[in-house]
Amino acid sequence: MSLTRLVLPGLSLTVGEVVVPAAVARHARVARVATGEPIELLDLAGTVAVGRLVAWEGAACRVAIEVLERERGEPPAPLVLGLAVLHTQAFDWAVEKATELGVSTLVPVLCARVQGGAHDRRVERWQRIAVAAVAQCGRTRAPRVTDPLGLPEFVDQATGLRVVADPGAPESPLAAPGTGGLTVLVGPEGGFTSSELAAARTVGFVGLPLGPRTLRAETAAVAALAVVQAWVGWL
């Protein structure tokens, strides 16, 4: 049986009983959570309340919180993903998977091979997808999805250990990220141009090869996040 998690942003979670309003409790009703069964409440600010459903009160439910867990599933330092904007379904999928892999900030990046326009209109949707993914995977914070940013601005403000997915890069060990965290940059379908890769390397990005096969951009984002975190001991 899968564990049901309810998102209650802004609620101060403490040990004891809390009434979950109908609008949020609806998910537990659909999942047919019965009295006495485990349930978790997430405030999206770093706390997960672990407890059990005590009773249904109309469309609302009452939950007994037994344990509070802080920063569960969060990376030890900031984990930033800069991902070139993809077509709708691919980027939606990437947002969901990046959330599951612990990204703390996701930046939609605009570069030469990004297609379409008005990408800023999609940010609210991407943020909703991230919140839903948090509830699914059980971490304690939703990544912040920023407004789209041009590649030059993104690479100039990047901090910590910086890597860029690059099929042509030689394999080399990565240094420990330190308190500055990790910044992972992944290009669009067709990849970055040679001048864009050169600009990233100029400001300290290290090329990250992802194997001998050609990956779709959204797959490359997931692979890069997994490989980099494994190399630096975050997984």
What was the pLDDT predicted at 168?
82
Q: Is-contact 62 185, C-beta < 8 A? A: no
Burial (CB < 10 A; 0-12, 13-18, 19+), residue 118, is: exposed
Q: What is the pTM of this model?
A: 0.91
Tokens of 10: 């802004």
Q: Is-contact 162 204, C-beta < 8 A? A: yes
Domain end, chosen from 45, 70, 95, is at 70
Closest-CA residue to 154 (of 205, 211, 194): 205
Domain end, chosen from 28, 43, 70, is at 70
User: Can you give the CATH number for the domain in which 154 is found?
Assistant: 3.40.1280.10
Residue 15 and residue 61 in one domain: yes
Question: Residue 156: which domain range?
Answer: 79-231
Q: Which of helix, strand or coil describes residue 64? A: strand
Residue 145 and residue 192 in one domain: yes
Question: In Å, how far are 17, 158, 178 from 78, measured between CA atoms?
Answer: 33, 11, 10
Residue 84 and residue 107 in one domain: yes
Domain count, the chain: 2
Residue 131 and residue 210 in one domain: yes
Summarize pLDDT for 72-112 with one digit per residue, the tens: 999 999 999 999 999 879 999 999 999 999 999 999 999 99
Summarize pLDDT for 138-166 with one digit per residue, the tens: 899 999 999 999 999 999 999 999 999 99
Domain end, chosen from 28, 47, 70, is at 70
Q: Which of helix, strand or coil describes residue 149? A: strand
User: Can you give the CATH number for the domain in which 66 is found?
Assistant: 2.40.240.20
What was the pLDDT predicted at 83?
98
Residue 83 and residue 185 in one domain: yes
- pLDDT average, residue stretch 48-53: 97
Residue 56 and residue 134 in one domain: no
